[in-house]
Copies of this chain bind each other. A is one copy, B any other.
């Protein structure tokens, strides 16, 4: 079974957009035990797309194509598939009805341009798209099963699940199980040293690490004769790695630090509020990323101006004058007062210099204080991020560090 992926769009070949569809599809294929051997990206050019489809049909059993199904004249994948199949496009009233219904359900008029999206190569099967206007297409050239899907990930992913996944061949042999363990707060080299023996070449599972924005992920790929066997092989390493890395592990798969903190807040029926300066609401935003967060999240103050710190959080003006807004005493007072005013079990605060301007030799860009208040008192942590980090990166890391402080406290550390 040889699967290939074809991604279409000038924004991709020009490098203006990073293609995340192809890796997502390759992972979903791997989940089904199907190896993707080749990925190709071409521009919005009818002849090029048709040639790539015809080429892939020479060597692939399965070809997944994304992009170029929109309503505008540069969307040419339908036409190119028809060319590769050597057939005409034909109008499909049932597709047109679905597109009309999509607009009606949203109370918006359908634009005449959208009619193009109801065209489908003769002999091919349209695939319904409840999440957008572009129907997909399933077709066959020789022995190759071909699926066209929209390039918009929000539309592509459900279409894959609804129309492609159920039609994939059942592969009892050679299942791959992937697990990912996520850690925060331990340097990558230390993670690597603690699990070096598991990363030896030729082991099953294979174990590798990758780092992104302070989160170190450990990826475990286990091969087995079936899902149960591969799963058990992966699980043994997951258990070993969790033991060795301890509380640095906050979750698995796509878990975030706020997911981990939210689970603990739910369990302990504890409540939280935040007082934010440099993070500008990002900590509150992340704590409310989680569905059901109203059970623990009460309120938040974004006190950007010093006057707002005084007015809303009752920070004495003298304290700010004496130590500066970016200081340990102000972070401490922000957290303590936020907790008292909000009547919550915990409060998080952050104040710092996110840059790129506003740094001084004493208080450079990247200096952030995060604080956690609870009944027993306040802990303040000083963070120093390199000045080479962007404003976005500094705010992201400060929010992660603050929420991790809460997570560790909820674990009793």
Q: List, sorted by A's number, 28 A–B pairs whose CB atoms are closer than 8 Å.
A: A10-B208, A12-B23, A13-B37, A14-B26, A14-B35, A17-B23, A18-B20, A37-B48, A38-B52, A39-B41, A40-B40, A70-B211, A71-B192, A72-B188, A72-B208, A105-B386, A106-B384, A110-B189, A111-B190, A113-B192, A154-B393, A274-B302, A279-B285, A280-B288, A280-B289, A281-B302, A299-B303, A300-B304
For A37, give its contact among B42, B276, B354 (CB under 8 Å). B42
Cα-based distance from A199 to B72 in the complex (angstroms): 8
- Residues on B with C-beta less than 8 A from A193 are 111-113
B-chain residues with CB within 8 Å of residue A342 when the two chains form the complex: 308
- The verdict on A160 contacting chain B, using a C-beta distance below 8 Å, is no
A361 contacts partner chain B, Cβ-Cβ < 8 Å: no
* Pairwise interchain contact B13-A26, C-beta atoms closer than 8 A: yes
Q: Which of B20, B42, B187 contacts A108 (CB 8 A)?
A: B187
Say whether A234 faces chain B, with CB atoms less than 8 Å apart: no
Contact A14 B178 (CB under 8 A): yes
Among B108, B305, B356, contact of A299 (Cβ-Cβ < 8 Å): B305
A residues 172-193 in Cβ contact with B at 8 Å: 178, 180, 187-193
Interface-centre pick from A13, A45, A188 (highest chain B CB count, 10 A): A13
Given contacts A16-B221, A113-B193, A300-B302, could you give 19 more A-B pairs where the C-beta distance is less than 8 Å?
Answer: A13-B36, A14-B30, A15-B27, A16-B23, A37-B42, A38-B48, A39-B40, A74-B207, A111-B192, A276-B281, A279-B285, A280-B288, A280-B289, A281-B288, A281-B300, A281-B302, A285-B395, A292-B357, A301-B301
Q: Provide the A346-379 mask, 1 if CB < 8 A to any CB of B, else 0.
A: 0000000011110000000000000000000000
Q: A71-B189, A178-B16, A391-B291 are in contact. Are A284 and B302 (CB under 8 A)?
A: yes
A357 touches B210 (CB 8 A): no
User: With A15-B30, A196-B73, A294-B305 given, is the CB distance from A206 to B10 under 8 Å?
Assistant: yes
A286 to chain B, nearest CB (A): 8
B302 touches A299 (CB 8 A): yes
Q: Is A130 an interface residue (CB 8 A)?
A: yes
Distance in Å: Cβ of A232 to nearest Cβ of chain B: 20
Whole-angstrom distance between the Cβ of A219 and the nearest chain B Cβ: 6
For A152, the chain B residues whose CB sits under 8 A away are 211-212
B388 near A131 (CB under 8 angstroms)? yes
Cα-based distance from A391 to B300 in the complex (angstroms): 20
In the assembled complex, the Cα of A108 lies from the Cα of B36 at a distance in Å of 38
Q: Please give the distance in Å from A26's CB to the nearest CB on chain B.
A: 3
Chain B residues closer than 8 Å to A412, beta-carbon distance: none
Q: Is A107 an interface residue (CB 8 A)?
A: yes
- Cβ-neighbour of A280 out of B28, B219, B297, B303 (below 8 A): B297
Closest to A211 in B: B152
Q: Is the interface of A mostly helix, strand, loop or mixed?
A: mixed
Interface residues of A in 195-240 (CB under 8 A from B): 196, 199-201, 206-212, 217, 219, 221
Q: Does A85 contact B (CB under 8 A)?
A: no
- A355 CB contact (under 8 Å) in B210, B291, B395: B291
A305 to B39, CA, bound (A): 48
| Pairwise interchain contact A14-B221, C-beta atoms closer than 8 A | yes
Residue in A16, A18, A130, A355 with the greatest tally of chain B CB atoms within 10 Å:
A16
Chain A contacts with B in 271-321, Cβ cutoff 8 A: 274, 276, 279-285, 287-289, 291-294, 297-305, 307-308, 311-312
Task: Kindly state the separation between the CA atoms of A108 and B210 in the bound complex, as whole angstroms.
Answer: 20
Q: Is the CB of B43 within 8 A of A11?
A: no
Instruction: Report the separation of the CA atoms of residues A257 and B306 in the bound assembly, to the nearest whole angstrom.
Output: 26
Q: How far is the CB of A190 from chain B (nearest CB, A)?
A: 6
A299 to B308: give the CA distance in the assembly, Å. 6
Q: Is A270 an interface residue (CB 8 A)?
A: no
